[in-house]
Amino acid sequence: MRREAHPPAVDFFARQAAARRQTRLLVLGFALALTAVVLALDAVLFWVLAIAQSGFPVLTPFEFARLNPGIAATCTLIVLAVLVLASLFKSLQLRAGGGAVARALGGVRVGRDTTDLRLRRLLNVVEEMAIASGVPVPEVYVLEHEAGINAFAAGHTPANAAVAVTRGALERLDREQLQGVIAHEFSHILNGDMRLNVQLIGWLFGLFVLTFIGRTILRGSHRARDRGAPLIVATGLALVVIGYVGLLSGRILQAAVSRQRERLADASAVQFTRNPQGLKRALLAIAALPAGSRLTAVDAENVAHMLFAAGLTRRLFATHPPLVERIRALDPHFDVRELERLEALSMLTSGGTMDAPGVARLTESSDVAEPIAAQPERIAACVGNPDDLDVRRAHAIHLALPPEVRELTGSPDRAGALVLALLLSHIPQVRARQLRLLADARGAEEAAAVERAAVHVDRLAPLLRLPALQEAFPALRALPLADRRALARLAHALIVADARIEIFEFCLARLLERLIEDDLQARPPHGRLTLAQVEHDLHVLFAVLARSGAENEAAARMAYEAGISRVLPRHRPPYAAITDWTSALDMALARLDRLQAPAKELVVEGLVRTIAHDGWMSVGESELLRTVCALLHCPLPPFAPADERANASQASASAAAG
């Protein structure tokens, strides 16, 4: 199977844990830099105040602080307040998500209705990568005035992420190269790098403010004619020097972390696509282009650590490894002399299409057929780890979405109708009740729009329902917050209107609400709970899932034991049917989302054992698993049937043998 042929070097949960460790180390480093800056500023202020009191510095800064503790404490608090408030100000500016960062650099959002072929290709690649990764489709921006080849991903969480590419990348990269670049950016989304990158912008801005204040003081001193002018000049110079030293210290920390994360992102991108040539050729195109990867935007230095390649020409405090080093990591036999012959690689090529396995099979609307081998450890290893087969399958899924459905994802109103249509019951009486509820809540016209959307949604294969929600989400984000929350409440009302609520419908509606709330979060969920603290919640989740796919109580008990024994091997609650399962499952999922990362990995393995206790999953069961895992912030790629995995494994083995 594929995970044996190409085991990931580091799994999703380990990468998330590593990102959190790096964040803690970075916070510690910035705290030390901040402490040093505050002490240095205190020394300057105490020296200035000592001179102001006596006309000459009879006291050292330390002696002044000892004799004037109140003044010293006030000065320290003022300095801290300036630094912290400046950082908070910048962070609040970026709270709107990755789109705010892209717009600050002159980015223009790409609409779903664009007819530009290059923009259409970019959207397709991003959407396919999102489907393969199991995360919401991010907003897409183009930096129209940037001729260099570059890209970045920004945001606090995957739900409010944005991916931006330069006009140079659009015009000079073919589809294979562009896919390598986008895969690199999606690895930043999956590895938890984005929030760290946005935090860095805020922290560095706080240190930069000192130099700004110092320069302002120096400009004002030129107009001063009194005896205090030299003192003002000295104070301004001290602020500029201390600010620059602090800023440089911050950039050293930034560069050290960024270089490591860029190497990991390159490796992950190759794992996603199983095609190092695309990423390698993109890097070669940068090397061959006179503009390289440079950005000309005023704020380029602030986002240098977020870019696909170095955005500035100077090498001091480089946030990326050298291009040659990155290319050699992809191709150890690369000859540096080849760079002299690369001018042709910067020419735009049309790019081919990727072979997409099983496009015809994906359009079938039944849930029978090709079983999916349930291998819990391998499936848990898939979390946040899409590979080449996942990307090809996502391409197939993207192509398999009917044009009518893709058209519905193009505007906020139509996307809302699509989401509600996904939740309509297939039972005529229940659907009629749901449509009446819609008409009462939103009017007959909107109810009719949902009914028209349902004509196309009803023909969707089970494997296409979750991707349809993923592709609709970027348009939904354009709705005002009140409208988004109203849509989530209406979705919940629709499933409650069905007396026989299906768990997939419930989870799909809950996922819509979670995506909306995640879009507003400045901080992604950080798990601290242990398995012992959530025994009851585990019982609820596994019992509900076991009963949903079982013919009787005996089969449900077997499925429950198969899964929960993996998570709680010694002491576990006995199986018992959950009566009010919707509210119980809602609370359980919220608490389980706060589990520590290693515990979540065990939960995913247990879920596979419960859903597929007979060793196989149907497509519908696999999509239920993906939806539940998405609610736990454990993105899973779409699963391939057993024969497709076997063929991919044989192809990999043949390639290795050749």
Buried b (16+ CB within 10 A) or exposed e, 215-224: eebbeebeee
- In whole angstroms, what is the distance from residue 338 CA to residue 345 CA? 11
Structure tokens at 349: 């090529």
- In whole angstroms, what is the distance from residue 219 CA to residue 40 CA? 22
- In whole angstroms, what is the distance from residue 135 CA to residue 630 CA? 8
Residue 542 is predicted with a pLDDT of 93
Residue 399 is predicted with a pLDDT of 82
Structure tokens at 643: 């024969």
Residue 435 is predicted with a pLDDT of 92
Domains of the chain: which residue ranges? 12-333, 401-501, 525-650
Phi/psi at 471 (5° precision) = -75, -20
Q: Which of 327, 306, 307, 305 is nearest to 317 (CA)?
A: 305
- In whole angstroms, what is the distance from residue 86 CA to residue 93 CA? 11
With a CB cutoff of 8 Å and minimum separation 6, the contacts of 74 are: none
With a CB cutoff of 8 Å and minimum separation 6, the contacts of 218 are: 233, 236, 237, 240
Residue 643 is predicted with a pLDDT of 44
- In whole angstroms, what is the distance from residue 638 CA to residue 630 CA? 12
Q: Which residues of the chain have pLDDT under 50?
A: 1-10, 313, 343-370, 642-658
Q: Could you give the residue numbers annotated as active site? A: 185
Please provide the size of the chain in residues. Answer: 658
- In whole angstroms, what is the distance from residue 179 CA to residue 182 CA? 5
> Could you give the 3-state DSSP secondary structure of residue 595?
strand
Buried b (16+ CB within 10 A) or exposed e, 470-501: bbbbbbbbebeeeebeebbebbbebbebbeee
Q: What is the pTM of this model?
A: 0.67
> Could you give the 3-state DSSP secondary structure of residue 404?
helix
The set of long-range contacts for 438-442, using a CB threshold of 8 Å and a minimum separation of 24, is 438/490, 438/494, 441/490, 441/493, 442/490
Residue 163 is predicted with a pLDDT of 93
Centre a 10 Å sphere on the Cβ of residue 571 and count the other Cβ atoms it contains.
7
Q: Which of 138, 44, 101 is nearest to 635 (CA)?
A: 138
DSSP conformation class of 11: -
